[in-house]
Structure formats: C-alpha cells, structure tokens
C-alpha cells in the first residue's frame, strides 16, 4: 500500500499545466513588440522598438517625443500524447500588449516601456493531462497486490471519468531608462526594470469504477481539485551599447541582469482519500501549496546584433541572444542547459510610405527529456515572420505583422519500475506546440 502512495505522488506531481513560450529561455519572451513577429532580428534596430531590443540606439532618433502602442494575438496549440490518447489545448489569445515612450533631446534619450516580458497564454486542457490519465492504469497494476488480502483487485475497473485543467504564467515588466550619445559613433544606455509575475493553476480529476471492500475502505473520495495562484515581484537592470561606425553599419549589445523572483502561493486544495490517506495536488507539487515561498527567476541574458544598409532601400540584420538559465533558480529544478537564439532578417523600403520586413529565428532552449513534464516542456523552435509598415505622414507609422512559430516535437521515454515485486509502467509522452501570431502597432511622434 505504501508503494501505491509513492506512485500516486509521482503521477500527481505531473498533473499540472504547461505554458507557451516563444523564446530560448524557459520563461523569458523576446517578442516584446509586434515588430519582432515581422522580423526577429531586432537587436541592432534604430527605432522606438529599440526600447525593447537596442535601447542605446534610440539616441539616433530625431529629436521629439514618441509613443508606441501595440498588441499581439494569435492561435496557440499545445499537445501531449501518451498511450494513444491526446491531451490538447487549443486557445485563442487576444491580448499581449506593449507601450513604449521615448523622449529624444540632443545627445540623450529617456525611455519607458511596459508589457508582457515572460510566460505566455492561458491554456485549457479540457480532457486532463497525461499525469491524471495514467493513474487508473497504475492503480490497476498495484491493486493486484491486494488480491491475497481482499480476494479481488479493487482497482481493476477504475477509469478517469472527467478531468480538466487550466493554467497561465504571465510576467509583466515596466522599464525606465536613459541613453547617452558619447560621440557620433558610440552610445550607452542603462535602465531599471520592475517585474510582477503570476503563475496560476486550477483543475480537477474525477475517477470511478473502484470496487469498495466491506472493510478497510480503500477509497473514501475519488476526486482531486486544485486552485492556486503564485505571485512575485522583482527588479533588474538593463545595460546597452551601440556602435555606428558609418551610415551603413550598426552594431549593438544589451545585457539584462537576472531578476530574482520569490513566488508566494495562495491556494486551496480538495484532496482525494485513498488507502485512508489524503492525496492532493498541492501535497506533491509544493511550490503551488498555500503559503509556499520559493524562487523562480528570470535568467540573465546577453543580446548581440548587427545591421547593414546593403542598398538605399534594403537593410539586412542578424543577431542572437544567450540565456544564462543554469544560473537561475527555477523552483529548484535541475537539468536545464543555457539556451540561445540566432536570427536573421531584412527590411525593404518599397517607397516613402511603405516598407516590408521578413525574418527567421532559431531557438535552442537547453531543455531535455529530464526537464519535460505536464507542467512545462520548453521545446526548440523556428520562427518565420513578415510584416508591413505604413507611414501616412512623417509623424506616424503603422505596423502589421504575422509569424508562424513551429516547435520541434520531443518525447520523454517511458519507465519501468519495480515496486514491491510488481512492475509498474510509466508510459512515454510526446510533446508538441505551435503558435500562429499576429501583431499590430501604431507609433506617433509629437
């Protein structure tokens, strides 16, 4: 009986919700404005979007005040498959906003930006997740051990009657910074950032088909529920440098410090009772337990970029990001390597009012089979995006962008373990994601 409790503990630990991330870091997002969807190679950009990607470069804007308002939205699919059963979440995310303000005056520029910098969309798994789906099979295997005592297997016909889970992880950032032009070629920037993060999880799993013995009452309650929200505040720094040797080339670098985030959970748990012991999600997934406090940091990152004006109409860009994931505390989890991204892109000036952008990004998350679970699976990805810019007058610019984020599939191998002489099977799980994203923004100069 004690071994059945151990198996249920492992299974319930996995019965949580994954989250969408379009970046090489576990939680960090780089699509902090719609321009990224149209061309991910933004690290050496000279524009108001540089508030997010190349803050030192904003000193090369014309003098004036700039306001940019943007939003991203799209269709998200996440799926897990185990033992021939699909566990899917298909969601439309309507709001991923951002606001940038820049005040450029002479050799200095002040900027303020606010938006979603990490996490992802709200996901709903209407048919449960593999962790909850595995429980009947494991109980059936282990119930056979009770036949000598009870004369039958009380879990032989157990099944998951109903299950549903919903989760979301969102990190909001507000950044205030300043950039200085040292001379015509060199510029520096420094900023502080405040981060507010939430990680929410709620759901249930209901089981039936358990044969109740006359004595011993193996199962008194067969439902598990959870409703938990974790919150954290943190601060970090952002430092940048821009080098423009001539009117054709531009180079930029940006370093963002690690943001320490100590999450505190506010939760309610309604556990099941099996083998005269209570079993609840929060008992076995302690970071979501009520009052739990622990760190899950945003890792430090280094971004490099370059752009070259190939012709008077065509600018090409390239860059990359490196995420120091191994130095961040991720709820005490181990197994992640550092992640990185590589990207290329272009912008073509069609005429004075219209231009076209195109770009590609590859992300290696540093995750592996050891890190995959129902709660998160950071898969490597490929982004292909394009966009159109429209300038009706010199003081206004509209942007429309679209990107397809395709993720590599990955599989966590199944396990066979011996529990008190009984072989228990933990089947393999296949993971997949995709995201069709759209963006729109308006930039105005005053």
Confidence (pLDDT) at 311: 96
Compute the Cα dihedral for 266, 278, 16, 4 and give only its sign.
positive
Q: Please provide the average confidence, as pLDDT, over all residues in the chain.
A: 86
Each residue's pLDDT, cut to its tens digit, for the chain (446 residues) gives 455 555 444 444 444 444 444 555 677 888 899 999 999 999 999 999 999 999 999 999 999 999 999 999 999 988 888 888 888 888 898 988 999 999 999 999 999 999 999 876 677 888 877 777 777 777 777 778 778 877 888 888 888 888 888 888 889 999 999 999 999 999 999 999 999 999 998 888 888 887 776 555 566 677 888 899 999 999 999 999 999 999 999 999 999 999 999 999 999 888 877 666 676 677 667 888 889 999 989 999 999 999 999 999 999 999 999 999 999 888 877 778 899 999 999 999 999 999 999 999 999 988 887 777 776 778 889 999 999 999 999 999 999 999 999 999 888 887 765 544 556 667 788 889 899 999 999 999 99
Q: What is the 3-state secondary structure (H, E, C) of the chain?
A: CHHHHHHHHHHHHHCCCCCCCCCCCCCECCCCCHHHHHCCCCCCCCCCCHHHHCHHHHHHCCCEEEEEEEEEEEEEEEEEEECCEEEEEEEEEEEEEEEEEEEEECCEEEEEEEEEEEECCCEEECCCCHHHHHHHHHHHHHHHHHHHHHCCCCCCCCEEEEEEEEEEEEEEEEEEEEEEECCCCEEEEEEEEEEEEEEEEEEEEEEECCCCCCCCCCEEECEEEEEEEEEEEEEEEEEEEEECCCCCEEEEEEEECCECCEEEEEEEEECEEECCEEECHHHHCHHHCCCCEEEECECCEEEEEEEEECCCCEEEEEEEEEECHHHCCECCCCCCCCEEEEEEEEEEECCCCEEEEEEEEEEECCCCHHHCCCCCCCCCEEEEEEEEEEEEECCEEEEEEEEEEEECCEEECCEEEEECCEEEEECCEEEEEEEEEEEEEEEEEC
Residues 6+ apart with CB under 8 A from 311: none
Q: Mind listing the pLDDT tens digit for each residue in 198-251?
A: 999 888 888 888 777 655 556 667 788 889 999 999 999 999 999 999 999 999
CA distances in angstroms from 228 to 41, 124, 428, listed in the order given: 37, 15, 28
CA distances in angstroms from 139 to 5, 132, 207, 274, 424, listed in the order given: 10, 12, 11, 11, 9
% of the chain residues with pLDDT over 90? 52
Q: How far apart are CA 164 and CA 132, in angstroms?
A: 10
Residue 82 sits in a domain whose CATH number is: 2.40.160.60
Q: How far apart are CA 124 and CA 90, in angstroms?
A: 7
Q: How far apart are CA 382 and CA 433, in angstroms?
A: 11
What is the domain extent for residue 62? Answer: 2-445
Q: In terms of Cα–Cα distance, which of 94, 113, 116, 103 is closest to 64? A: 103
Q: How far apart are CA 129 and CA 373, in angstroms?
A: 10
Please count the structural domains in the chain.
Answer: 1
CA distances in angstroms from 73 to 151, 353, 376, 405, listed in the order given: 57, 25, 21, 13
Q: Mind listing the pLDDT tens digit for each residue in 170-196?
A: 899 999 999 999 999 999 999 999 999
Q: Mind listing the pLDDT tens digit for each residue in 124-155?
A: 888 877 777 777 777 777 778 778 877 888 88
Only one residue has tokens 């510029």, namely 187
Confidence (pLDDT) at 439: 97
């Amino acid at each position: 009986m004690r071994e059945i409790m151990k198996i249920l503990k492992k299974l319930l630990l996995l019965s949580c919700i994954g989250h969408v991330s379009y970046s090489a870091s576990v939680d960090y997002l780089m699509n902090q404005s719609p321009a990224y969807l149209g061309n991910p190679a933004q690290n050496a950009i000279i524009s108001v979007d540089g508030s997010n990607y190349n803050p030192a470069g904003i000193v090369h804007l014309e003098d004036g005040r700039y306001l940019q308002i943007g939003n991203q939205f799209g269709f998200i699919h996440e799926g897990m498959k185990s033992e021939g059963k699909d566990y899917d979440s298909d969601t439309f995310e309507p709001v991923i906003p951002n606001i940038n303000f820049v005040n450029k005056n002479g050799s200095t520029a002040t900027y303020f930006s606010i938006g979603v910098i990490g996490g992802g969309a709200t996901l709903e798994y209407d048919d449960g997740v593999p962790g909850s789906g595995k429980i009947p099979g494991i109980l059936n295997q282990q119930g056979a051990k009770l036949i000598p005592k009870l004369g039958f297997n009380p879990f032989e016909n157990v099944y998951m009657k109903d299950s549903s889970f919903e989760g979301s992880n969102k990190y909001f950032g507000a950044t205030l910074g300043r950039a200085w032009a040292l001379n015509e070629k060199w510029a520096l920037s420094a900023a502080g950032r405040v981060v507010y993060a939430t990680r929410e999880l709620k759901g249930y799993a209901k089981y039936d088909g358990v044969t109740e013995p006359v004595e011993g009452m193996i199962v008194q309650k067969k439902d598990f529920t959870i409703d938990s929200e974790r919150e954290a505040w943190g601060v970090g720094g952002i430092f940048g440098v821009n080098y423009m040797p001539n009117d054709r080339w531009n180079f930029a670098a940006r370093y963002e410090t690690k943001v320490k985030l100590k999450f505190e959970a506010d939760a309610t748990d309604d556990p099941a009772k099996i083998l005269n012991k209570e079993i609840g999600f929060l008992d076995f997934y302690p970071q979501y337990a009520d009052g739990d406090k622990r760190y899950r940091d945003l890792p430090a990152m280094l971004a490099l970029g370059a752009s070259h004006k190939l012709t008077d109409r065509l600018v090409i860009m390239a860059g990359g990001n490196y995420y120091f994931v191994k130095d961040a505390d991720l709820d005490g989890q181990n197994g992640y390597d550092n992640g990185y991204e590589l990207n290329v892109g272009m912008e073509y000036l069609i005429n004075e009012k219209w231009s076209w952008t195109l770009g590609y990004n590859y992300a290696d998350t540093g995750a592996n089979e050891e890190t995959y679970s129902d709660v998160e699976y950071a898969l490597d990805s490929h982004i292909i995006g394009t966009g159109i810019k429209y300038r009706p007058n010199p003081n206004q610019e509209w942007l429309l962008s679209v990107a397809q984020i395709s993720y590599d599939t990955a599989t966590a191998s199944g396990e066979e373990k011996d529990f008190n002489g009984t072989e228990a099977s933990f089947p393999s799980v296949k993971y997949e994601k995709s995201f069709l994203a759209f963006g729109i923004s308006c930039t105005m100069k005053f």
